[in-house]
Structure 1
């Protein structure tokens, strides 16, 4: 039985895993893109308290914040095609992106809503006084200011989404975690395989954490 850590195996495995990092990042970027669109729409609905839509948005947020992401992925990939046959052709990658988008949009919507509510109400009143509609004021004045406030939390959700893509291997997506699982099963070097994938995630997260820090400095420069 092997009791020592095989550093040579980790070094050899890293380039193999990195080849699959593109799939992981593609899932994260697409998931964040669609999540942001859904989140902004729900945040606006919640801020304006639109009848029916507000209740539906609240139900959506409650469900996707109150259930595990893994369960949601299984519901979307295995359960949704049974309920709606139109989704029977959905592949695992699309299901993973859809699951990530819906799950994180529920959290992001609340962050964006809080950022919007944090903007002084007098600014909306000033916009309405010069003839803007509420949506025009939201798009031109309120959202640009709210984006500065919401950026740190949104970047945190993006970083969390990168890590959450590791669950996509349960659907059969050939991403970095899936490859690590296959390598571990074939060599029985489970610790080394999962340590290698952990190191890659760690480096990626540190990279985007640095970008987040620089972005915050840039956005707050005018307010310093």
Structure 2
């Protein structure tokens, strides 16, 4: 008896790849939204805006302290019971919401640390020549903080792609959901999950290569 049905695995690859755009699309949408939200949260934490700072800390604590799967179920199954306008939400939207809120809580702390890590003498010099806090953030702090935060943010994007595999629990037929259906129909669970694991692995390795190139690009200006 062969350990693996290679022919079945090769035939499965193009079938699963048809669902890859949805997986990457959910991750990309979640990343863009999470970046915008986390940047705002980080600025609030750095400036310690009264009222908003406490709410931000509570938000970060909740979404870092509870599992992503629980959050997805809360958005898709729980909230529509108390907010009727959410009854029309579909699994894809709920997944993007979950990814956005969950990862923005982690990314906000990474961005905050990068902002705080900018040399204080530069911020004092900028303020001494009349820059506002907004100009200081846009022109001095955020460009430098971006270089520091990029590696960590790329890691979060990689984690986000892998986290989209939870979307099948909401009935979304993405990469993992399609694999589950194919495995259930053929009863070749081992081969099916080996194939999908290799696809995820290939995506992660490609992004890791891109991350190294991006880091080198950002670091060029600091090399002597």
Question: Equivalences for 1:194-205 in 2 at 5 Å?
Answer: 194-205=193-204
Match of 1:163 in 2: 162
- Structure 2 residue matching 1:106: 3-state secondary structure: helix
Match of 1:39 in 2: 38
- Structure 2 residue matching 1:131: 3-state secondary structure: coil
- Structure 2 residue matching 1:174: 3-state secondary structure: coil
Match of 2:4 in 1: 5
Question: Equivalences for 1:114-129 in 2 at 5 Å?
Answer: 114-129=113-128
Give 1:145 deviation, angstroms.
Answer: 0.4
Q: Distance in 2 between matches of 1:174 and 1:202?
A: 19
Q: Distance in 1 between matches of 2:203 and 2:194?
A: 14
Q: Distance in 2 between matches of 1:53 and 1:81?
A: 27
- Structure 1 residue matching 2:4: 3-state secondary structure: coil
Give 1:4 deviation, angstroms.
Answer: 2.2
Gaps of 5+ in 1: none
TM-score by length of 1: 0.98
Structure 1 segments of 4 or more deviating over 3 A? Answer: none
Match of 1:144 in 2: 143
Deviates more, 1:71-80 or 1:131-140: 131-140
Q: Distance in 2 between matches of 1:87 and 1:47?
A: 33
Match of 1:192 in 2: 191
Q: How many pairs were matched up?
A: 223
Q: Tell whether 2:141 aligns with 1:130.
A: no
What is the alpha-carbon root mean square deviation over aligned residues? 0.9
Q: Distance in 2 between matches of 1:30 and 1:38?
A: 12
Match of 1:217 in 2: 216
Match of 1:109 in 2: 108
Deviates more, 1:106-115 or 1:122-131: 122-131
TM-score by length of 2: 0.98
Give 1:130 deviation, angstroms.
Answer: 1.5
